Structure 1
Amino acid sequence: MMIPKMVVPRSKGQCLALAGATILAIALLWVFPPVGFVACAVMLVVAPPWGRGLAERGFISLLLALGATAVAFPRASSLPITPVSAHAALSIFTAVAVGLSLVGPGRMTRLIKPTLQDVLIGIFTAGAALWLMGAYIGRNSYEIVSGLFFTGWDNQGHFTPFANTIEVGSTTWPTFDGTIAWNQWYPSLHTTMWSLAQLASQTSSEILDRPGLLWPYVQWTSISFALSLAALAWVASDLTRRCTPLVGVRSRFVRRSAPAIAVLAFAAFALLGSPTLLFNSGFTNFMMAVAVTTVTAYLSARSWRSARALGWILIPLGALAVNALWTPLVLGLVPSAIVVIIALWRDRWWLAPVWAVASGGLVLGTVYLQSRAIVVDDPGASSSYMEDLGAIGAGMTPFNVGAAIVSPIIAVLVAIVLLRSGRRPLAIAIAGPSVAICAFLWLTMSAADSAGLSRLGSYYVLKTLNALLLVNAPMLAAGAGIGIALVLAAMKRRVLDPSTARAVNRFNTVIVGCVIALVGVTSFGYVGATPSGYPSGFGSAPGIAAGAARAGSVDNYLVGEAIIRARDAASPYPGKTTMLWDGSGVLVNLWVASLNRVLSSGDQRFYIKLPPFPYEDDVVSYVDFALGINPTLDMSLLWFRGVSGDRLNTIKREHPDRVTLVKVPMRSTVLCQECTL
């Protein structure tokens, strides 16, 4: 294993102390879940027999937990997700992880002290999580749903499976109309993990209602997003530590400070740059997929030893996790899988084919069964995805497209330098994911061409480019860390080793020059591009603007009040499809429905095809037509303006047994000045 070893195994007393701490953490999980949950998390960072540092141990534990969850709780599984099963799953995982360090080679593992990088990554994780959820802390359901509504359309799409899983108690969600649940077959490992974490950590065994789950949704999305950013920051730190000797410095200052500077550089990019815009838009699963792909590929191929010790288990579990988060990024693990095969072959040749067949069978078999179920149960899901691949032209958050385009080129150039320096596995760990993901980028560009859409106007082209930028961001941060440390060392009169300086040949100099030029050019735009105009003043950094958007959205809570009040008014009619007529629109109605019951695919199609707001006679005709062609459709039509109630009476008269008119109590607002509570 990739573990710091002691000269002698742990004593019996040390093993008993570690076992006792683990038993105490698990007992607290069942008796006082919030404290026990934190205690188990601490044990998974401190005690397992993997990783050279605390941060590395923690992230390996997270990767294994994600992969194990993908195996145990796949989409449409019948395995229950309840407080008991959540406590049991975390207890078993903690016991196994710590138990491995108490027997066999694991007894050689020592408890390690936190390094400066570990401390910085811990502070970054906590700070990022608080920054992301800060606008929602202490807010009521009106304000929280307003914040989620205004900041990103996809928040509704990811809240829905989270609420479904907790309310139903599994990843199979039955619907009132008998159709398949909306998003039943969408990658949903993130919402499964959030459900298990919520049920394992909450004080009461009572299941919260859907509005009560709004704050837990914000909490777990914030923590997951922050952990994803922190994992990438750790990659930047470890990569810096491994690459610093290649520049041939004799300064201990550079070797010690460069990894910490890389963490700070990545943190600045993460919090001030474009990544937090992804959080606002509800793309936390995408961020998690990027982090899992990057960390798994890096840990599995950074060295031959790491490939043998970690890659054999991380690659299959990581692939299953990525498949259940954002499937196309699975391609990024293929090069590292090849490194693992070669590493196993070099150790014992027969291990390579055995591992390839076993892990490949696990991953491909799981993907096949899930894909077959999608085709059989919900054939529209796969066909619509292929159609949308080139047709969707909006919805991606802004980011530095220029840097994203050249980042794979920079990765390849850095890999060439590493190959020439004898660091072959590390070269694959850096450039492999980018090169492999470019295959999907080519597919998305071809789909955009077929749809007659601009390549840089296609949602999936832009999303894949954003993934490339994020995958390569740790490498760029590592370069910044080394460069800044060298400058600081020079200011302290620490110079390069003269013999190393002479050893740098012209070819490597050209490559390094190209990298610097590409970074410099893309910092300001494309070659030859000029801005059409300049703003009158300075604008906020993207991360600051994203934070301001969250704060402003929760303060503008009128739409959230309408959504929650409509949901409450519809609660006495659980078997009916809801439709809010006043102050509404497609997304408002999707939120009302998601907060009311399991949203079916039939419900979602009805809402998506609604004519634009405001609702007039054309919408009356649409509702009447929908009721006419679907004899199983029963509706609760919600309104709070008197004129709307009069209009809806025409539908009630046509379908008296299938339509229920429900007046929503609303205070007097700009939406309804005549309303009173």
Structure 2
Amino acid sequence: MNKTVSRQNVIFAIVAVVSVLLLWLLPPVGFIACCVLLIVLPPWGRTITERALISIVVLLGLVALIFPRAGATAITAMSAHLGLALAVLAVAAARFIPRLARPIPKPTVSDALIGIMLVGTSWWLMSAYVGRSLYGIVSGLFFSGWDNQGHFTTFANTYVIGSTTWPTIDGSVAWNQWYPALHTTMWSLAQLGSQTGAELLDRTSLLWPYVQWSSISFALCLAALAWVAGDLAGRLGPLVNPRSGFIKRWAAPIAIVVFATFALLGSPTGLFNSGFTNFMMGVTVVVVTAYLSARDWHSARGLGWFLIPLGALAAIGLWTPLVLGLIPSGLIVALALWRVRKWLAPVWVIAAGGFVGITAWLQTQAVINSDPGTSAGGLLADLGAIGVGMSAFNIGAALAAPLVVIGLAILLLRGRRAPLALATAGPVLGFTVFAVIAMSGADAGELSRLVSYYVLKSLNAMLLAVAPLIAAMAAVAVCVLLVAVSKTTKGAAKPRAARINVIIGGAIALVIGVTMFGYVGTTTRDFTGGFTSAPGVAAANARSAGVENDLIGESIISAQQAALPYPDKTTMLWDGSGTLPNLWVSTLHGVMSKKQNTFYANLPPFPYGEKTLGHLTLALNLDPSLNLVVLWFRGVSGVMVEELKIDQPDRVTTVKVPMRSSPLCEECSL
């Protein structure tokens, strides 16, 4: 180790110590500084983006290991600061080990494009909520997607309780306690590690952090998949034209732009609206881990042995069935270790495979046991019978994904790139296996396969996994076309002018073409009925429209505020309500139990009346632990629910919720 390197390492160590101190003195600054150090200091990755992605996978896997679902490890500001500090100091200290002292990668065009995409996408996703009131934020989440309530629940519970185990007022298991929730554990740690002050935020104040962290996480996923597209394009280019410097230089940036276009204008951001950020994170972790672990023999030996188990733990903690997509890359890693030392492969397979297999089994059993008496087959049929809730996407492209990856794999095998063939095909083929399993559940539930929620979600995972591959191949094709145009125009009288004219003409044709379908500029919706905005644009419009329509948010927040004096009672919003508003009020009120969730799910259809009163009376008689605070804001409703209070004075409290007068409730008043 020369003096220059030693001096750099000392400087990095000092910066690391200062950053760690800032975690306690000025948390937002210290948190950002520590995150930057975790990107640039670790001894892996050939580029800045690659180094960052490996670090993220490692961090996700370690958090899944240290803070498991329904675990006992405390999640507090202290544990968040301590964990981040130890990670930063560890990577800084590792630089003093000669074998681990890797130089800081120089920024590339691809790194810059990824950075721009990350910042721009994060802002685009959260911009509709910036500066909005709590009414607007909860309304936006309410109208965007049902699952936002469920994922906000796990985030708020983990943050407020300070653990991944949440006690309830009725003693039953907390609702969603059995569900994979690594994403909200990460968000809780990030919020605790970056916020100023020792006081915890209340549940309503966590609405904006939920939007913030889910937006950043989703944008990171899209940026990570864009990097896969770029790196793959850089490897495919030489196979097509090994002599072209243009292809070698520009294939990766073009692939990133192609994927970014699909990501922002296509269907992916609809998943964000629906509250499926954990699903997006799971797909991304599998695709990135599979690719980094097996793209070549060197990566398989140097990275795969620890990325596969850590990535698998993360996938299990995000969307468990997706872990199937890592099996092919795991085989490449085992073979690579076999080629180094024959005894390494079986040891690694037994250790990593056994640990990951047990973790997956425990998670699956937790889901099955959440409903006593349900078998694995019964659960599969129940899941297969779900036919609502999935956001729209290109089903045809998803169904073609296995054929695309098989075709690409054949080309790579012909080019003697066997590891890369499995690294790219593995996730899609693994997701296909689960799609087939989900189809059997749909058949058992007597539901059309292309209507079943879990079949569609599996197909969407296949589409997301194949999209970077298509972007990479498209980028190489564009480069080949440009090289051909360059060669063709060399014989022109003015070759430079001819090339520029071709490029300008192509750009004009592209803009005209995509504008016709609402991808750029004004849509033709007002002129003819067959055209709509691009899916990504439509998703952005839906977020903005939901935030503007804030009356439902006002009723939810006002009801939650009115119920604050009754923390040990189950909330029941009577007016302007329904199942989902009641779920939101309950989530903002405290830890919702499984019993409470079942109570809300079984409520009669809105509007509530005498039938609902009878249902509440029956529920009170059947469940001695049920104590209600009934919230209303219409005078006629107050009279009706008073009957329930008279019958059960010790167990029912009625509270008028102050609500401003509106066209939907002219008699309301503050």
TM-score (norm 2): 0.92
CA contact (8 A) 1:311 1:337 kept: yes
SS at match of 1:638: strand
Q: Which amino acid aligns with 2:197?
A: S
Shift of 1:142: 0.5
Answer whether contact 2:259 2:468 (CA < 8 A) is retained.
yes
Aligned to 1:55: 49
Matching of residue 673 in structure 1 with residue 644 in structure 2: no
Name which of 181, 191, 203 aligns with 1:210.
Answer: 203
Matched, 1:224 2:211: no
Query: What amino acid is aligned across from residue 446 of structure 1 in structure 2?
Result: S
Aligned position for 2:328: 335
Inter-CA distance 635–282: structure 2 relative to 1 (3 Å threshold): same
Mapping of residues 98-117 of structure 1, within 5 Å: 98-107=92-101, 109-117=102-110
Asked if 1:244 is matched to 2:240, the reply is no
Aligned to 1:325: 318
2:513: which partner in 1?
none
Q: 1:364 aligns with which of 349, 354, 357?
A: 357
AA of the residue aligned to 2:486: K
Alignment of 1:433 onto 2:427 = yes
1:251 touches 1:495 (CA, 8 Å); kept in 2? Answer: no
User: What's 1:493 paired with?
Assistant: 487
Counterpart Cα distance in 2 of 1:541 and 1:184:
37
Which residue does the alignment assign to 1:275?
Answer: 268
> Is the CA contact 1:185–1:381 (under 8 Å) kept in the aligned structure 2?
no
Aligned with 1:390 (options 384, 389, 400): 384
Residues in 1 aligned to 2:184 and 2:591: alpha-carbon distance in whole angstroms: 15
Q: Choose the corresponding residue for 2:132, options 139, 154, 167.
A: 139
For the structure 1 residues 252 and 382, does the alpha-carbon distance in structure 2 shift closer, same or farther, using more than 3 Å as the test?
Answer: farther
In structure 2, distance between residues paired with 1:180 and 1:450 = 29
Q: Which residue of 1 aligns with 2:503?
A: none
Return the alpha-carbon distance in structure 2 between the equivalents of residues 153 and 263 of structure 1.
Answer: 32
Instruction: Provide the residue aligned with 1:84 in structure 2.
Output: 78
User: Which residue of 2 is the match for residue 584 of structure 1?
Assistant: 577
Gaps of 5+ in 2: 491-516, 518-526
Aligned with 1:88: secondary structure?
helix
Kindly provide the CA deviation profile for residues 238-282 of structure 1, in whole angstroms up to 9, marking residues without a partner as x: 101111100025321221111000000000000000000000000
Relative distance call for 1:594 and 1:471 in structure 2 (3 A) is same
What's the counterpart of residue 481 of structure 1?
A: 475
Q: Which amino acid aligns with 1:51?
A: G
Q: Which amino acid letter does the alignment assign opposite residue 57 of structure 1?
A: R
1:83–1:199 Cα contact (<8 Å) kept: yes
5+ unaligned residues in a row in structure 1: which ranges? 1-6, 497-523, 525-533
Q: Quickly say closer, same or farther: Cα 1:377–1:584, change in 2 above 3 A.
A: closer
- Name the structure 2 match of 1:617: 610
Partner of 1:20: 14
Match of 2:286 among 293, 296, 311: 293
Asked if 1:38 is matched to 2:32, the reply is yes
Per-residue CA distance 1:451-503 (angstroms, 9 max, x = gap): 2211111111111000000011110010111111122222222899xxxxxxx
* Segment of structure 1 superposing worse, 44-53 or 149-158: 44-53
- What is aligned with 1:3? none
Contact 2:179 2:367 in 1 (8 A): no
Which deviates the most, 428-437 or 84-93?
A: 428-437
Q: Kindly state the Cα deviation for residue 295 of structure 1 after the two structures are TM-superposed.
A: 0.2
| Counterpart in the other structure of 1:414 | 408
SS in 2 for 1:578: strand
Query: Is the 8 Å Cα contact of residues 380 and 438 (structure 2) preserved in structure 1?
Result: no
CA separation in 2, counterparts of 1:9 and 1:288?
A: 42
Is 1:190 the counterpart of 2:183? The answer is yes
Change (3 A) 1:189 1:423: same
Contact kept in structure 2, 1:374 and 1:382, CA below 8 Å: no
After superposition, the Cα gap between the structure-2 partners of 1:563 and 1:485, relative to the gap in structure 1 and judged at 3 Å, is same
- Give the distance between the partners of 1:613 and 1:642, measured in 2 at CA: 17
Distance 1:667 1:49 in 2: 59
| Separation of aligned partners in 1, 2:213 and 2:82 | 20
Q: Does the CA contact (< 8 Å) of 1:49 and 1:98 recur in 2?
A: no
**Partner residue in 2 for 1:128:** 121
Q: 1:102: Cα distance to partner? A: 2.6
Q: Counterpart of 1:544?
A: 537
In the aligned structure 2, how far is the partner of 1:459 from the partner of 1:479?
30
Count the aligned residue pairs. Answer: 634
Query: Whole-Å Cα distance in 2 between the matches of residues 373 and 490 of structure 1?
Result: 58
* C-alpha distance after superposition, 1:96-122 (max 9, x if no partner): 233323313012x11121100000001
Letter of the structure 2 residue corresponding to residue 393 of structure 1: G
Cα displacement string for residues 593-614 of structure 1 (whole angstroms, at most 9, x for unaligned residues): 0000000000000001111110
CA contact (8 A) 2:229 2:471 kept: yes
The secondary structure found in structure 2 opposite 1:192 is helix
- Secondary structure class of the residue paired with 1:660: strand
Provide the aligned C-alpha RMSD in A.
Answer: 1.8
| Whole-angstrom CA distance in 2 between matches of 1:560 and 1:382 | 39
Instruction: Tell me, yes or no, if the aligned pair for 1:332 and 1:437 is still in contact at 8 Å.
Output: yes
Maintained 8 Å contact 2:658/2:669: yes
Give the Cα separation in 2 of the matches to 1:164 and 1:10.
49
SS in 1 for 2:318: coil
The answer as to whether partners of 2:382 and 2:445 remain within 8 angstroms in 1 is: no
Equivalent position of 1:513 in the other structure: none
Distance 1:117 1:479 in 2: 17
The Cα of 1:386 is off from its aligned counterpart by 2.4
Match of 2:598 in 1: 605
SS across alignment from 1:595: helix
Tell me the distance in 2 between the aligned counterparts of 1:290 and 1:369. 21
Quick one: distance in 2 between partners of 1:287 and 1:446? 24
Superposed, 1:295-314 pairs within 5 Å as 295-314=288-307
Of 468, 476, 496, the match for 2:462: 468
- The 3-state SS of whatever aligns with 2:669 is coil
Q: Structure 1 residues 388, 211: CA separation in 2 closer, same or farther (over 3 Å shift)?
A: same
Would the aligned equivalents of 2:381 and 2:442 in 1 still touch at CA under 8 Å? no
Query: 1 CA distance for matches of 2:6 and 2:451?
Result: 63
Structure 1 stretch displaced more, 247-256 or 258-267: 247-256
C-alpha change, 1:244 and 1:494, in structure 2 (3 Å) is farther
Q: Does 2:87 align with 1:93?
A: yes
| Equivalent residues of 1:390, 1:458 under 8 A apart | yes
1:507-546 to 2 correspondences below 5 Å: 535-536=528-529, 538-546=531-539
2:554 pairs with 1:567: no
Name the residue aligned to 2:629: 636
Q: Deviations over 1:338-383 (max 9, x none)?
A: 1000000001111111111111222123334445555667647876
CA distance in 2, matches of 1:342, 1:419: 16
- Paired with 1:495 and 1:50, the residues of 2 have a C-alpha distance of 43
CA–CA separation in structure 1 for the residues paired with 2:125 and 2:119: 10
1:663 and 2:656 aligned: yes
Q: Which amino acid aligns with 1:468?
A: M
Q: For residues 62 and 281 of structure 2, what CA distance do their matches in structure 1 show?
A: 16
Cα offset for 1:166?
Answer: 0.7
* 8 Å contact from structure 1 (residues 408, 434) kept in 2: yes
> Which residue, out of 302, 324, 340, partners 1:347?
340
Change (3 A) 1:382 1:291: farther
Could you tell me how far apart the structure 2 residues matched to 1:100 and 1:246 are?
37
Label 1:22 to 1:385 Cα distance change in 2 as closer, same or farther (>3 A). Answer: farther
Contact residue 250 and residue 495 of structure 1 kept, 8 A: no
AA in 2 matched with 1:581: W
CA deviation after TM superposition for structure 1 residue 389, in Å? 2.3
8 Å Cα contact 2:381-2:444 kept in structure 1 = no
